[in-house]
Structure 1
Amino acid sequence: MDNPIHVLVVDDDALMRKLLTALIGQHDFRVSLAHDGLSALEALRSGEEIDLVISDWEMPGITGVELCRELRAMNLPHYVHFILLTARQGAADFSAAMAAGADDFLLKPISPPILKARLEVVKRLLELQQRLRRKNRLLAEANEQIKTAYARLQEDMEAAAVAQRCLLPEPIKDMGPLRFASFMLPSTFVSGDMYNYLELPDGSVAFYMVDVAGHGARAALLSVTLNHLLDVAAFVPHAERSGPAPERIISELNRRFARVDAGMPDYFTMICGIISPGGDSMTFCQAGHPSPIIIDPGKPIRAAGDGGFPVGLMADGDYLSVTVPLAPGTRVVLYSDGMTECARPDGEQFGEERLHILLDSSRDAPLADLDAILCGALTKWQGSERFEDDVSILAFEVVSGR
């Protein structure tokens, strides 16, 4: 041990105190003396660390058993071993002493070999306790370091979430004949979902929605990267490029991210498209993303497109664009699969059918109310405001008379 074991000898007999001091001192233990139970209590309450108390049973004032009971009630920061010194050998006496918290007994007259054996046992126990305290201290220090690191990580994640939200478009915005509405419900501080809509030089409007596989910082980092890649320049055809812009964009992203030499690839679903300047048609391409929902005035609600492969899974993935006519009053809703896969406690998912019914029943509601309608429905469905997956919605409508 780092420090000598401190033994408090408590006995009203001066000769016994002297004998115990001599015997204990042979084993490199530090000895303090108390002439009765009250003075022993004062020593224990003084704050000085005492490892072992050897106390006579019969003493004036308070007995050794009462002293032991008082000691156990102190709730000291360390354990104090207690050995009773007695000539009693009755079973009832031993039961009473053990009930009071005594650890061991020394019978009178004292046998030096037995005393030595008792001290060696206490020494081993104290060494184990000291190692345990040292380990607990190291664990406590490590726990504090983890808490500090977690707090810093949380601050960084919150800052990253704010920065990521700054990349999202305005929740409500008019562009020519179009009115856009969008919102995101991230499952964590940051999200693997990303979306945007951009006005192009010829008056057309480009849009996209991305859903990166996984959650947290890794998915968010890729979504932010895609936000920077999918700018206005990405949607404007150059002379050396051919084919519909949405199809070309997804094919180029797939070639960039489907690299076999990069280990397990990060992949994502996406949908991107261009709405004509007059708002009378939409050309879009899917890559494993849920199909957009088309709500035409006076017509049944429907889904357009057939899916396609996610970006980054197959280097030779084939992508095609689809053109859909739009009429004044037509509403188009894009969503991430966090919407339809939102599950109740029993595991049942919200599903496409319920989403279609909900959107159909709210087709006459202002586009700006879509956020509250969908968020309220999901929260009620799962019984919680905490979502297991990111939920993103990007919707637009062709405004009549604009």
Structure 2
Amino acid sequence: MNEQYSQFILEENKYLKGAVEKLHMENDTVLLLIEFLELLLKTKGIEKVTRLVIKHLSELLGAKRTMLIRKESMEGLYARYIYEDGETKKINLMRTELGKDYFFLYVEKVYVINETPASIVMPIKYIGENIAGMRFELDSLDELEPHKIEILKRYGPICGLVMKNQILLEEVMSEKQVMLEKNAIINEEKKIILEQNKNSRRELKLAQKIQKKILPSGYINFGDYTFYRNYKPSYYLGGDFYDVIECNDENSIVFYMADISGHGVGASLLTVFLKQTLKGLVKYYEKKGERLVPSKVLKKLQKRFLDIEMDEEMYIGIFIGVIDIESHTLTISNAGHNVPPMHVKGFERTVGTYEISGLPINGLGLDLFDFDYEDREIYLESGDSFILLTDGAVEERNALGEEMGIERLKSMFVRNKDMSLEEQFKIMLLEMSRHSRKSRFGDDIAFLAIHREY
């Protein structure tokens, strides 16, 4: 009996040791990805971005030689980079010179080639478009850690997105330089664009923890409106995310609250995708001169999500709104966000919620072409507040298994409606601690509130 028990203990210790090692490996992977994303998002110019990508990934895999082929802006012209012995060399090739040795430019997914020399090939794509391809030559595959292949699968779409943005930005800047010589007004437009890019880079700056590095926080004001954003992390690296985007017309403000499925690397990368894609969609509609309609933005977001080919179990629940700060109208739409927004009416001292159905943004393409998201328009009176939360606030339970619940939260916000939005957030956390008897909660809590002053 004692011998069997000892064997059981040994097996349990072995299992726990393996679990701890796996957790350390995942944490190291997350930190590695965050550091790389921070560098990538701060780097300007397609040439610098390309050299950063080939150097970083080569060192990550310990490749003895790495080749990257990328399209140039000129039709039919390609750039070939070779990274070897810590040095990157570049030459240009015509399409007719791309022989069988450059097949990896057109692959659809990461491949491991177990021959001499052993190698790994990786596509870099953006919405189905081949931006670049990479081939890493290794001394041997024997010591290659399996999780690094998974890292490459995550890197490809993100590198493609950043490279495509840099290519488009360089094309735009080139066109504007020509126009500058003809029209002095364009010079002012260029300054505005550069300032917007500077603000975007500042927002995307990453700190030690991913939530602090990507999530904006604190107050932001637009006319008669005050926005307050804050975040309470759980024990895990989660997928709650929100943002506020000012449109070029200075009258429209886009805001959203999202809850991305899962924790860890996948959720972290999707927050980067979500932030960049929604900013890009806002600019897309502005460039076309079309009014921003939340349901149309969600439809486009679903299409972009399918293009990056994430795992089928990954999805995004997102609530999005557009507020006109002159007419005080708020147009809202929902794609699977399961906490209804709260409308605190200051004069009436009441609070209501809005139930709007809609499928989450998913990788299955469920009813993508048949399903239309619903738009609803509401009016904000002076003194009204509009509050968005993620399910961590609603589903926190006490020892009896009772959830905090939306009704408790509604009562709390009405009682404290005259407090500042920051004070209301702090009171909410205090009420949740009293309910659950815990200071650290089981899920992330994201908070986004809008208040009309006058």
TM-score range, shorter chain: 0.5 to 0.7
Distance 1:188-1:218 versus aligned 2 partners, 3 A rule: farther
Distance in 1 between the 2:13 and 2:393 partners?
42
Cα distance in 2 for partners of 1:383, 1:206 equals 36
How many residues are paired up? 267
1:357 corresponds, among 411, 416, 419, to: 411
Aligned to 2:241, the other structure's residue is in SS state strand
Asked if 1:380 corresponds to 2:434, the answer is: yes
Identify the match of residue 253 of structure 2 among 202, 205, 225: 205
Which moved further from structure 2: 276-285 or 351-360? Answer: 276-285
Please name the residue that 1:254 is paired with.
Answer: 302
Match in the other structure for 1:273: 321
TM-score (norm 2): 0.52
Partners of 2:436 and 2:13 in 1: CA distance: 38
Distance 1:335 1:261, change over 3 A: closer
Return the match for 2:225 from 178, 188, 191. 178
Q: Report the equivalent of 2:270.
A: 222
- SS across alignment from 1:230: helix
**Cα displacement string for residues 218-247 of structure 1 (whole angstroms, at most 9, x for unaligned residues):** 222222221121116426625768675211
Pairing partner for 1:337 from 366, 384, 391: 391
Matched residues in 2 for 1:233 and 1:260: separation?
16
Return the alpha-carbon distance in structure 1 between the equivalents of residues 401 and 267 of structure 2.
24
What's the secondary structure of 2:396's corresponding residue? coil
For 1:192, give the aligned amino acid. Answer: G
Contact 2:30 2:264 in 1 (8 A): no
Is this contact kept in 1: 2:335–2:361, CA < 8 A? yes
Offset of 1:371 from its aligned partner? 2.1
> SS state of the match for residue 369, structure 1?
helix
Partner of 2:422: 368
Please give the per-residue CA displacement for 1:32-79, whole angstroms capped at 9, x wherever unaligned: xxxxxxxxxxxxxxxxxxxxxxxxxxxxxxxxxxxxxxxxxxxxxxxx
Q: Match of 1:293?
A: 342
Identity of aligned residues (%): 24
- Are 1:310 and 2:360 counterparts? yes
Q: 1:378: how far off?
A: 1.3
Contact 1:279–1:326 under 8 Å retained in 2: no
Amino acid across the alignment from 1:307: S
Q: Aligned to 1:237, which of 285, 288, 309? A: 285
- After TM superposition, the structure 1 = structure 2 runs for residues 38-187 of structure 1, keeping only pairs within 5 Å, are 150-151=23-24, 153-154=26-27, 157=30, 160=34, 162-187=209-234
Relative to structure 2, which stretch is displaced further, 354-363 or 159-168?
159-168
- Partners in 2 of 1:276 and 1:143 — Cα distance? 55
Partner of 1:100: none
- In structure 1, the residue matched to 2:378 is 324
Q: Tell me how far apart the structure 2 counterparts of residues 144 and 305 of structure 1 sit (CA, whole Å).
A: 47
Task: Assess if the C-alpha contact under 8 Å between 1:213 and 1:268 holds in 2.
Answer: yes
SS at match of 2:356: coil
Aligned to 1:118: none
1:194 to 241, 263, 276: 241
Contact 1:331 1:395 in 2 (8 A): yes
Deviates more, 1:147-156 or 1:249-258: 147-156
Deviation at 1:360, TM superposition (A): 0.9
Shift of 1:345: 2.2
Which residue identity lines up with residue 197 of structure 1 in the other structure? V
Question: How far is the alpha carbon of 1:150 from its aligned partner?
Answer: 4.5
- Deviation (angstroms), 1:301: 0.8
Q: Considering only CA atoms, is the larger Rg found in Structure 1 or Structure 2?
A: 1
Q: 2:245–2:253: 8 Å Cα contact kept in structure 1?
A: yes
CA apart distance, 1:362: 0.9
Distance 1:262 1:297 in 2: 43
Q: Distance in 2 between matches of 1:331 and 1:218?
A: 33
TM-score, with normalisation over the residues of structure 1? 0.58
Q: Deviations over 1:125-144 (max 9, x none)?
A: xxx9xxx9xxx8x9999988
Whole-Å separation in 2 of the counterparts to 1:226 and 1:234: 12
Summarize deviations over 1:222-276 as a string: whole Å, max 9, x none.
2222112111642662576867521111111223335898663411211111110
Which stretches in structure 1 are left out of the alignment for 5+ residues? 1-127
Structure 2: stretches of 5+ with no match in the other structure? 35-207
Q: CA deviation at 1:365?
A: 0.9
Residues 365 and 158 of structure 1, relative CA distance in 2, 3 Å threshold: farther
Matched, 1:347 2:396: no
Cα displacement (A) at 1:327? 1.5
